[in-house]
Structure 1
C-alpha cells in the first residue's frame, strides 16, 4: 500500500541537502559534452504548491528552503540550489517547490534524457502531465528498482541513478544494498545517489557498514543532522550515499554543509558528516 506523499514534506531540510547534491551531480555530468541519462526511481509529483493543504499542514518548507530564500551570503552550491527553485517561481515569491525530476529537467541538454518512475496513483498523473510536452523525458508507472534493472546501463553509458524512497516498507535498506551491487556490476561508469532518513543512528549505520563491506568502490557518505539523531520526536537528520561521485564533491560538500547546518539548526547541537566508506 502506497501512502507516502512528498507534498507534505517538499522543501524541508532533507530536500535542501539532497537537491543541492543532486544539482552538483548533474553539473558534474554537464562538464563533458557527451549525453547522459538520469533515472529517478521515486519521482513523486514533480512540482509542489507550497500553498496547498498538504504543505501547509506540516509547514516543513518554512524550516528548509524558506530559510535560504532571501539570503545573499550563500556558498555557491547553495546559491545554485536556491536559483533553481527561484526559476520555478518567476514572480519572486516562494510558492512552488520543484522535486527532483523538475530539477533534473533544468539541467537537461538537447541530447540528455530523464526517465522518471512513480507508482503512487495520486502523483503519477501529475508527473506525466508536467512533462508531457518534453521529448527528452519519459514517465513510467513502474517500480523504480525494477526500472533500474531494465534501463541500466543506458546507451549513453554516462548518467545518474537517483534513488529517494519513502522508507515505508520493511527491508528498504536491504533492497538498496542489493541495488548498489547490481548497478555496480552492470554500470561501473554510472553515478548512484541514494537518500536515507535518520531517526536514530542504528539503521543507517548498519546500511553504511554493509556498503563498506560490499566491495563497491568510491562510496561517499554525506549527512546533515539538525539535532542528536536519537532525539525521540521526528526525523532529525538525513544522508546521501554517492557511488562514483564527481571530482572533489567531498571537498565542496564539507564547505556548504557547514553553512547549511548553521542556517537550518535551531539547537546548535546538530552535525555534518562527509566521509568515504570505500575509496576508488
Structure 2
C-alpha cells in the first residue's frame, strides 16, 4: 500500500513543487480586491517540525527544501517560496515547515474578508491542525472540520464572492482516492466552472496514478476550461536501496495566466537543484 502520512515527508521535493505553485496561485488571486475562498480538502496537521522523529526517519526534507535553499535559485517562483518558508523560522534556521493550510493563510488578507476552509479526517492530524490554527488567532478567516473533504467540498461551491481556489491533495493511500479526485473535479466544475482547482498527485507505478492526469485533462476539456499540468522527478539515488517517492505532479484547471511562464523558468532550476540521478526531469504542458 502506498502511504503518504505527511509528517514523514514534509519539505520534500513534492512539497517544494506543490507549495511553490500554491503560493503563485494565491498571490495571483489576492491581487484583485474581491475576497477569495480557499478550500483545502486534505489539510494535514498544518505545521511540521523538520527536526522531529517523523522528518528524521525519512530525511526527505534534506533532498527537498534544504537542498533547494543551498542552491540559491534565481526563479522568482522559487525565491518567493523559500522566503515564505523562512518567515516561519528564526533567521538562519529551518526547523518549521508550513503545510498548505499555513501557506495559504499566510497570504490571505486581513483587510478583505478572505476565507480558508480546512478539512482533515485523520484523528491525530486533525487534532494537531486545530491546535496550530488556534495559535493563529485568525478569527472567522479560518474554519476547520474533522470531516471528509471530498464530501464537504460540495457545500462550499460556489463561494459568495465567486472567486476560489480548491486544493485537492489526498494521501492516495487507497486506490479509491484517484476516483474520488476525478469525481470531485467533475462535480466542482459543474457547480462552479470558473473556480481554480489544483490537484496534487504522486507519480508511482500504479495504473490509477498513470491515468489520473489524462482523466483530469478530459474533464477540463469537456468543460471547456483551460488547464496546466506540471511534473517534477528527482530521479534515482543509486546509494539508496529504498527510493521512496521520486516524482509528483500538479494539475490545475483555470490556472493563472502567469503560472506557465513562471514554471517554465522554475522547473529546470528545480531539476538542477534536486535531481539526483537516472530518471530526473520535468514536464510542463497547458491547453
2:233 alignment partner in structure 1: 225
State how 1:186-197 maps to structure 2 within 5 Å: 186-197=191-202
Q: CA RMSD in A?
A: 1.8
Partner of 1:59: 59
Any idea what SS the aligned residue of 1:267 has?
coil
Q: Cα offset for 1:205?
A: 3.4
In the alignment, which residue of structure 1 is the partner of 2:42?
42
Asked if structure 1 preserves the Cα contact closer than 8 Å seen for 2:76 and 2:262, the reply is no
Q: What does 1:249-268 correspond to in 2, within 5 Å?
A: 249-267=259-277
Gaps of 5+ in 2: none
Corresponding residue of 1:134 = 138
Pairing 1:208-219 to 2, within 5 Å after superposition: 208-214=213-219, 215-216=222-223, 217-219=225-227
Alpha-carbon distance in 2 for matches of 1:210, 1:55: 33
Under a length normalisation based on structure 2, what TM-score does the superposition of the two structures give?
0.90
Cα separation, partners in 2 of 1:226 and 1:202, compared to 1, 3 Å: farther
Tell me the CA shift for residue 250 of structure 1: 1.3
1:125 to 124, 127, 148: 127
Give me the whole-angstrom Cα distance separating, in 2, the residues matched to 1:99 and 1:51.
15
Instruction: Find the aligned partners of 1:190 and 1:137 in 2 and give their Cα distance.
Output: 19
Query: Greater helix percent: which structure?
Result: 2
Cα pair 1:38 1:113 within 8 Å, conserved: yes
Partner of 1:271: 281
> Unpaired segments of 5 or more residues in structure 1?
none
Q: TM-score, normalised by structure 1?
A: 0.92
Residue 141 of structure 1: CA displacement?
Answer: 0.6
Measured in 1, the distance between the counterparts of 2:217 and 2:77 equals 27
Alignment of 1:148-227 (within 5 A): 148-200=153-205, 202-214=207-219, 215-216=222-223, 217-227=225-235
